[in-house]
Amino acid sequence: MSTSIIQVVLADDHSVVRRGIRDFLTEAGDIVIVAEAENGIQAVEAVKKYHPDVVVLDIQMPGGSGLEAARLLRDQGETLGILILTAFDDPPYIRAALETGANGYVLKSSDADEIVNAVRAVHEGHQVFQVGHGSYQMSTSGNPMPHKLTDRELEVLHFTARGMTNKAIGFQLSISDRTVQGHLASIYEKLGASGRTEAVTRAVALGLINVSH
């Protein structure tokens, strides 16, 4: 448990949802909600006014989404922790969150303790991205990989992130579909991933690939 108080701005367009999140965050003892917002625009204004340690943003809000708010905050040079808290477990949203510079992406269906720990993690300089029923955390200092990916595996991962099929990847790299599948199996094992989306998300979080290219 963190020994310092973490000041948080909480943004969600549903007041009942905000109240529930606020209650279990404040019950943690080391988290204080300094302001609440109903949309992305209000969230950005609250960050400017209160200078919190972390901002928790819903993805879809009228009058400015959480992704738009995250992108704007980063464009303005804000270095606070940004945690996307959402009901959407979809790869496009996860990629979009990564591209905005958010530090975390956690589902609202998570246990209260998981969300509390995600707030603490992004405050401490970590990244937390939840994919499916699991979450993955890493330090922004770039802890070394326990098993480094080979150059070929990075190539396969790069094309996988672009949504290419095994056959298309094999054609691009002049290798067989079976060889591509073998590389993917090795990538999954090294990254602790259960599938393509999770592997790509973790690789982006680790800085191994860039989804914008």
Query: For residue range 108-167, what is the model confidence (pLDDT) as tens digits?
Result: 888 899 999 999 999 998 888 776 545 555 544 444 444 578 889 999 998 998 889 999
Q: Residue 142: CB partners within 8 Å, gap ≥ 6?
A: 206, 207
Do the bridges between strand 6-11 and strand 31-37 make them parallel or antiparallel, or are there none, so unpaired? parallel
pLDDT digits (tens, 9 = 90+) for 5-55: 999 999 999 999 999 999 999 999 999 999 999 999 999 999 999 999 999
Q: How confident is the model at residue 90 (pLDDT cuts 50, 70, 90)?
A: confident
Q: How confident is the model at residue 212 (pLDDT cuts 50, 70, 90)?
A: low
Q: Residue 140: CB partners within 8 Å, gap ≥ 6?
A: 103, 125, 126, 127
Going from the N-terminus, what domains does the chain have, and what CATH number goes with each? 6-139 (3.40.50.2300), 151-205 (1.10.10.10)
Residue 78 has pLDDT above 60, yes or no: yes
The pLDDT of residue 200: 84
The pLDDT of residue 156: 94
109 three-state secondary structure: coil
- Which parts of 162-195 fold into alpha helices (H)? 166-173, 177-191
Residue 1 has pLDDT above 50, yes or no: no
State how far the Cα of 146 lies from the Cα of 191, in Å rounded to an integer.
9
pLDDT digits (tens, 9 = 90+) for 174-189: 999 999 999 999 998 8
State how far the Cα of 189 lies from the Cα of 152, in Å rounded to an integer.
15
With b for 16 or more beta-carbon neighbours within 10 A and e for fewer, the 124-135 pattern comes to bebbbbbbeeeb
